[in-house]
Amino acid sequence: MDTDVVISGAGPTGLLLGSELALAGVRVRILERQSARHGQSRALTLHPRSIEILELRGLADRFLAEGRTVPSWHFAGLSRELDFSALDTRHGYTLFLEQARTEELLEERARELGVEIVYGHEVVSLKQDDDGVEVVGTGPDGDFRLRAAYVVGCDGGRSKVRESAGIGFPGSDGTMSSMLGDFAVVDQEEIAAAGRGPVLVAPLSGGLTRLVVTSPRRMRVPATEPVSFEEFRETLVELTGTSFGIAEPRWLSRFGNATRLAENYRSGRVFLAGDAAHIHFPAAGQGLNTGLQDAMNLGWKLAAEINGWATAGLLDTYHAERFPIGQLVTDNTQAQTLLLELTLVPDYQRPVAALRGLLDSLLEIPEVNARLAGLVSALSTSYPAPDSDPLVGTRTLDPESANLVRSGTFGYLGDGAAQVAEGWKDRITAADAKPANLGEALVRPDGHLAWVRRETDPPDPALREAAITAWAGEARR
């Protein structure tokens, strides 16, 4: 094999996945079709669960030092915002951080761990057999071939990996589009006078300002059609009566609400993650965050398989756990987009305004607000196991147990630490300490609980060993 894993795509998902694999000693090569980073940022935010998973690896401070935190977020642009600060987390906020900087920090981490990242190399096709995958691509020096044990497509909505693996990508075509523009010159006084309205305004680094608009006259234009400066300026005037004094555009782009979800996140030795597995309108900024969480789920499982200790069926749990999350994200973004789209259609403006008012009033109910905040922040993500304690599959909230998984191992807290440390020392970091409100806890490398014993239940070494073996394989004797 030329390498253990080839990852197609050096975006946030591919970079985090590469780091997770390298942390476990897996040889990784990331192939990126772009010749260099373009420096543009579609996404601007990291939500609470993304900050949590970065903290699990001791990386959160790198990102927090670069961005700006805000304690609330929006759902469908409703007036009443989601209160992330009320959620049960140490990171009850969204971090404003441009995708370009997020990628730089993730690439820095990947290179620290020895990940090979090759720009200007595009994966064109794959052919897999029982022993591995042959990757065919093109680069600056012409066509190339290499062989890997596994391939992961992190290569976006038009994924060549997904297409070559024959994985279906059903869903709906776009019905509307919006425009974004990054400008070096804007009139901040005009923006302030316009107040909160139909234009999203976000300050960027380097003195740039991002504006996002949706024109009622131009919303049916295909997302593939280029945006002109004049079109953008006319749309601002149409929506607000002023052009905001925009000048010196640095990036103009159009994006739509096409929504698709891969039929399977795995086909043999080929996996999908991030936009290769799910695309949707960027409502509430969930796309990049969902991709990072895909990577965190897949990384340790694929490493376990390559390192020879994965339990039967472990790799299949990637699709079983992440596909339903993809469904939740594509469903809620479609609901949010419909509220925006119908607001722009004259015949629906009055009833949609009434609906939005009703939803605003519902978000004033703390339980409703928390429900949607948990969904958008991904803090409500859980991987429940049949016939198990309801806590199994939820995020660990215990700071000490979270610290145990920093090196990518499982974490164990409880009186059985000595036995666990002896039998699984290459896979589990154990501490003889009581987990919060529990008797014992086994924490997965991605920070979700794999097994717990309640304080009211008596210790049972045989039950503990069976539970750990089911996740981390047989003990070393």
Cβ contact 82:72 at 8 Å? yes
Residue 302 belongs to some domain of the structure: yes
Residue 329 belongs to some domain of the structure: yes
Decide which of 256, 291, 315 is a domain's last residue. Answer: 256
Residue 409 belongs to some domain of the structure: yes
Q: Domain check: are 128 and 234 in the same one?
A: no
How many residues are present in the chain? 477
Q: Domain check: are 270 and 137 in the same one?
A: yes
Q: What is the CATH number of the domain that holds 409?
A: 3.40.30.120
Decide which of 256, 274, 309 is a domain's last residue. Answer: 256
Residue 388 belongs to some domain of the structure: no
CA distance 78 to 84: 15
Q: Domain check: are 218 and 337 in the same one?
A: no
Q: Which domain holds residue 210?
A: 177-256
CA-only gyration radius of the chain, Å = 23
pLDDT tens series, the chain, 477 aa? 899 999 999 999 999 999 999 999 999 999 999 999 888 899 999 999 999 999 999 999 999 999 999 999 999 999 999 999 999 999 999 999 999 999 999 999 999 999 999 999 999 999 999 999 999 999 999 999 999 999 999 999 999 999 999 999 999 999 999 999 999 999 999 888 887 678 999 999 999 999 999 999 999 999 999 999 999 999 999 999 999 999 999 999 999 999 999 999 999 999 999 999 999 999 999 999 999 999 999 999 999 999 999 999 999 999 999 999 999 999 999 999 999 999 999 999 999 999 999 999 999 999 999 999 999 999 999 999 988 899 999 999 988 888 999 999 999 999 999 999 899 999 999 999 989 889 999 999 999 999 999 999 999 999 999 999 999 999 986
137 φ, ψ to 5°?
Answer: -150, -175
Q: Domain check: are 193 and 325 in the same one?
A: no
73 φ, ψ to 5°?
Answer: -145, 175
Question: Bridge partners of 429?
Answer: 411
Q: Which residues contact 52 (CB under 8 A, 6 or more apart)?
A: 60, 89, 90, 91, 379, 395, 447
Residue 29 belongs to some domain of the structure: yes
Domains identified in the chain, total number: 3
Q: Domain check: are 152 and 15 in the same one?
A: yes
Decide which of 377, 411, 433 is a domain's last residue. Answer: 377
Q: Domain check: are 329 and 353 in the same one?
A: yes
